Structure 1
């Protein structure tokens, strides 16, 4: 199962895989298991073309099996392994169930009126993952929880900006509707891929929000906890680079595939790891 979890993380080519590859073997195995759970939960919503009722049923069963896994009684080997990791690192259960609720939100609503509405979604699908991870990394200050929460919000908002076209193709519009009104950019515009100055201004507005969330996260991370958070910091640097790339390309996500490549992710992760290994 450890190898299977590693393969799930590696196949995804995610920033997650590169950021956590330099952890010690025990923590790396734990993180691969947590990632495999998160990816498997996400796949229930995003893979295939099943009706929403089927996905609801799958999520409901997944939640029940997660509850069983705490006692090692799940029919899924991955969840039983996760149950052991939860006990080993004393990870609170709530973030795992909140993540599933976040996936349910993708079935219940495809639009968000305000940024506060969107923040709830971002918390459930991203900040929860941060709250799982910091228990594995280890920390001493309660403010590190706020670091994880705000970093998760920043990462997810950056993801949303990158994936505008992909999400629109699935009928999902995550940008707050009242922000779209503010910049005179309609839902029809986004669904048809209309790239104009109004869109660029709207995206810059949301990108500035992401920057503030990154800054808020940094302010919450105590100096004492920085060394143990090097993997989270690597994720942060990768996503800040992504945000910078989006800006430098004027957010032309309809016509360009804007991303951070594998070599860049690996270099950033190694650089952050070296900094915290050598300086602290």
Structure 2
């Protein structure tokens, strides 16, 4: 996922089989453009919804076996037919981006998980369909990995999200640890903030671990790709801990040396 929601998206990775790279790129461009409709520029909310609805209408044309109006969706129709991709997963992504336009706070973790089930999990499910590995156990593992990656992105981007009036930290958990929105507004890293973020990071790490068997189930280059994605997410969590959860001043990012560490941790897992 290259930016925002898609910082860990394996776009045209050299590890992806060549036969799948075009399909992955098309899915990425769909998600990237739709995400931009919800986030970027100075559009009014109604304009954002109109743009997202234009994507929904194109999906309806595909469902009706009609020719889409735009090149992106003509390409999308081709890969959907070629790989028998579920249309609902694309609708789920659009629903999540529409939610981003209006919903700025999350009362509890269940609300956040519900959002992740539409903003992140469809991407992993689409990839499994492309790989022809979309078994029920694999889908469950993938959901855990994708939700973890989405949460990691939230914890990285607390400052960036607050700049557009979004806080993804569950409000009930903020209150439990004595954290208020003033902590975010003031970039305040005190004991209360560190305890809250320690809790979030550990839960995210546990969730990632629950999906990690997928890295061994998938074989060949696809398996290596998945293990690198998992290692990358865990590396960001390590960096958050290392800076004592001060992502305000030291946003954790993957750098060249991190890839050496990640490669070392990407041997097939043993369970």
TM-score by length of 1: 0.86
2:203 is the counterpart of 1:203: no
Change (3 A) 1:222 1:211: closer
Report the alpha carbon displacement of residue 266 of structure 1 after superposing the two structures with TM: 8.3
Assess if the C-alpha contact under 8 Å between 2:198 and 2:241 holds in 1: yes
- Worse-matched range after superposition: 248-257 or 68-77: 68-77
Change (3 A) 1:225 1:103: same
Structure ranking higher on relative contact order (CA contacts 8 Å, 6+ apart): 1
Change (3 A) 1:242 1:13: same
Structure 1: segments with no counterpart, 5+ residues: 1-7
Change (3 A) 1:166 1:22: same
Distance of 2:256 and 2:48 partners within structure 1 = 32
Structure 2 matches for 1:49-198, cutoff 5 A? 49-70=42-63, 71=65, 73-139=67-133, 141-198=135-192
Distance of 1:261 and 1:161 partners within structure 2 = 18
Assess if the C-alpha contact under 8 Å between 1:19 and 1:231 holds in 2: no
Report the alpha carbon displacement of residue 226 of structure 1 after superposing the two structures with TM: 4.3
Structure 2: segments with no counterpart, 5+ residues: none
Assess if the C-alpha contact under 8 Å between 2:12 and 2:22 holds in 1: no
2:230 is the counterpart of 1:236: yes
Distance of 1:27 and 1:266 partners within structure 2 = 26
Change (3 A) 1:269 1:67: farther
Assess if the C-alpha contact under 8 Å between 1:154 and 1:214 holds in 2: yes
TM-score by length of 2: 0.88
Distance of 1:263 and 1:42 partners within structure 2 = 30
Report the alpha carbon displacement of residue 232 of structure 1 after superposing the two structures with TM: 2.6
2:246 is the counterpart of 1:252: yes
Deviations 1:125-161 (A, max 9, x none): 1011111111112227420010111111100011000
Which residue pairs with 1:216 in the alignment?
Answer: 210
RMSD after superposition = 2.7
Which residue pairs with 1:48 in the alignment?
Answer: 41
Report the alpha carbon displacement of residue 199 of structure 1 after superposing the two structures with TM: 0.9
Assess if the C-alpha contact under 8 Å between 1:168 and 1:190 holds in 2: yes
Q: Number of paired residues?
A: 266
Q: Secondary structure at the match of 1:195?
A: coil
Quick check: which one's helix share is greater? 1
